[in-house]
Chains A and B, each alone.
Chain A
Amino acid sequence: MKLKGTLLLLLSMLVVFLSGCEPLLVLDPKGPQAERQASDIMISIGIMAFIVIVVMVLLVYMLVKYRASRLPDDYEPPHIEGNPILEGILIGVPIIIVAILSFITVKSNYIVESTPEGYEDQEPLVIYASSSNWKWHFSYPEQDIETVNYLYIPTDRPIEFKLYSFGPITSFWIPQLGGQKYAMADMVTTLHLAADTPGEYMGRNANFSGKGFAENTFTVTAMTQTKFDEWVDEVHETAEPLTEDTFEQLLEPGHLGRMTFTGTHLGFSPAPEHEHSDDEMDSGEEHKMHAEKEREMHTEHAAHE
């Protein structure tokens, strides 16, 4: 059949694309979370390809064997009701497949929602990432630094992003380090990432947020802890402090290049707090405690200096 031929050809082209050329960003992970997601994706592609092939083989078989032009003129197709055993198998096999995938997914859900595997013993670096039309603001409370549209992170240390938005819902996404999560005006969401290897990665807002959405990107540079510390010191020496007025100006809709400040906006413009439903209340409390702990750390840090 022409149709089947074309389809198989295209499918094989797809496989060539997936394996050859440059690796696709999502399938070229540089951190444990992205790795987990990439392996989930590859497993599911494998199982799904199997299902597609089974359906296609069956279809081609039916079409070739039972097409009218091959059958005698007086052939009368029989009347067949269902067959409980056959239908049972047709229900059972998909249920098994779904069960396997569910098992993988549930496990992965808990993995991507907690500190990356292999990094559990380390204190995560907390970075507040907030979006405004159409920029990203990164506040490092621990280092007392704020950057716009670029992100420096140390490798081999878990990073805990606290996400929120000064405008429409956006989605914080660094494909090679891990999947995305929404940043919203109403609550803070948490994204756990970590980078295994130093390098420069693409980061962007993935959720449509108006006119400037396409250019709402940032770059992520992962570097060793020593280099990161050097950068922090350099910033403290060279950068201007972030004042409330400057920050208000930054929030105006538009695009900005990279900017660096000392101090963060969290003091005068804190992250949103939860105020609704019970289970969210709990995490809200947790969040407040977290913020307090940070403030303590913060003061400690200042004391050291």
Chain B
Amino acid sequence: MKIDHTQPLEYSTQQNQLNIFGFWIFLGAEIMLFATLFTAYFIMENRTGNGPTGPEIFEIGPVLFETFILLTSSFTIGLAVHAMRIGRKKAMLAFLGVTLLLGVAFLSAEINEFVHYYHVGATYQTSGFTAALLTTLGTHGGHVTLGFFWGVCILIQVMKDGINARTANKSFIFSLYWHFLDVVWIFIFSFIYLKGLM
């Protein structure tokens, strides 16, 4: 592996550059994926059949909590990458750990939310609206879950091998992914919850 020292560590080999570039393309596809989900949601928004409508089931409290948690985690992963760039392994691990913990907190809040929907009679089978809502939220939540396990793998590797071209590359790509999920959440927050609550 030829390492180019003029570049940041995560860009330092050709394969690393390819990985980052390829991941950006992947995020492009992810944008299409979520755009499709949003389209479906907007079309299904008022098709509630005999089930409850959005304003009837949405609760601002938990949603604000989830939003706050996820935004904070986006900030901490940014700090983790910063720590990585200046070569401070411990700080990086700490911030990465905090990010993942926030991820878990987000997920538990979201599971809670789903249980709430279940109790108020908005199950997956209830109507076109609930199906679209839960699929959109679920796809995002599934991404966060996957991200959590991915993050754990990276955390262990950084712990074992320290910060090198390989782990830096992985951590950087993971941070892109995590930021992306945050952006998606902002759209969910604005166009599903706020719009539904208004």
**B46 — which chain A residues lie within 8 A by C-beta?**
275-276
* Interface size in chain A (residues, C-beta < 8 A): 3
- Residue-wise, chain B 33-46 has the 8 Å CB interface mask toward A (1 for contact) of 00000000001001
- Residue-wise, chain A 268-286 has the 8 Å CB interface mask toward B (1 for contact) of 0000000111000000000
Give bound CA distance, A275 to B43, whole Å: 11
Task: Please classify the interface of chain B as helix (H, G, I), strand (E, B), loop, or mixed, using the class held by over half of its residues.
Answer: loop
B82 at the A/B interface (Cβ < 8 Å)? Answer: no
Give bound CA distance, A129 to B46, whole Å: 28
B47 at the A/B interface (Cβ < 8 Å)? Answer: yes
Give bound CA distance, A275 to B47, whole Å: 7
Question: Which residues of chain B from 46 to 78 have a CB within 8 Å of any chain A CB?
Answer: 46-47
Give bound CA distance, A275 to B48, whole Å: 10
**A277 — which chain B residues lie within 8 A by C-beta?**
43
Give bound CA distance, A277 to B43, whole Å: 7
- Residue-wise, chain A 244-279 has the 8 Å CB interface mask toward B (1 for contact) of 000000000000000000000000000000011100
**B47 — which chain A residues lie within 8 A by C-beta?**
275-276
Number of chain B interface residues as a range: under 10
Give bound CA distance, A171 to B18, whole Å: 50
Question: Which residues of chain A from 49 to 79 have a CB within 8 Å of any chain B CB?
Answer: none
**A275 — which chain B residues lie within 8 A by C-beta?**
46-47
Give bound CA distance, A276 to B47, whole Å: 7
For A277, the closest partner residue in chain B by CB is B43
For A281, the closest partner residue in chain B by CB is B46
Question: Which residues of chain B from 1 to 60 have a CB within 8 Å of any chain A CB?
Answer: 43, 46-47
Give bound CA distance, A277 to B44, whole Å: 9
**B43 — which chain A residues lie within 8 A by C-beta?**
276-277
- Residue-wise, chain B 132-159 has the 8 Å CB interface mask toward A (1 for contact) of 0000000000000000000000000000
Give bound CA distance, A137 to B47, whole Å: 28
**A276 — which chain B residues lie within 8 A by C-beta?**
43, 46-47
| Least distance between A212 CB and chain B CB atoms (Å) | 28
For B128, the closest partner residue in chain A by CB is A276
For A275, the closest partner residue in chain B by CB is B47
| Least distance between B137 CB and chain A CB atoms (Å) | 21
For A186, the closest partner residue in chain B by CB is B47
For B47, the closest partner residue in chain A by CB is A276
Give bound CA distance, A72 to B46, whole Å: 74
Give bound CA distance, A277 to B46, whole Å: 8
- Residue-wise, chain A 110-151 has the 8 Å CB interface mask toward B (1 for contact) of 000000000000000000000000000000000000000000
| Least distance between B172 CB and chain A CB atoms (Å) | 42
| Least distance between A223 CB and chain B CB atoms (Å) | 43
- Residue-wise, chain A 82-109 has the 8 Å CB interface mask toward B (1 for contact) of 0000000000000000000000000000
| Least distance between A282 CB and chain B CB atoms (Å) | 15
| Least distance between A257 CB and chain B CB atoms (Å) | 36
For B48, the closest partner residue in chain A by CB is A275
| Least distance between B21 CB and chain A CB atoms (Å) | 32
Give bound CA distance, A276 to B43, whole Å: 7
Give bound CA distance, A275 to B129, whole Å: 13
| Least distance between A89 CB and chain B CB atoms (Å) | 37
| Least distance between A285 CB and chain B CB atoms (Å) | 15
Give bound CA distance, A202 to B46, whole Å: 40
| Least distance between A278 CB and chain B CB atoms (Å) | 10
| Least distance between B63 CB and chain A CB atoms (Å) | 25
| Least distance between B195 CB and chain A CB atoms (Å) | 15
| Least distance between A283 CB and chain B CB atoms (Å) | 16
Give bound CA distance, A97 to B117, whole Å: 57
| Least distance between A140 CB and chain B CB atoms (Å) | 31
| Least distance between A186 CB and chain B CB atoms (Å) | 9
For B45, the closest partner residue in chain A by CB is A276
| Least distance between B44 CB and chain A CB atoms (Å) | 8
- Residue-wise, chain B 103-134 has the 8 Å CB interface mask toward A (1 for contact) of 00000000000000000000000000000000
Residue pairs across A and B with Cβ atoms less than 8 A apart, 6 shown, are A275-B46, A275-B47, A276-B43, A276-B46, A276-B47, A277-B43
* Residues of chain B having any CB pair with chain A under 8 Å: 43, 46-47
Question: Can you list the 4 inter-chain pairs with the closest CB atoms, starting with the nearest?
Answer: A276-B47, A276-B46, A275-B47, A276-B43
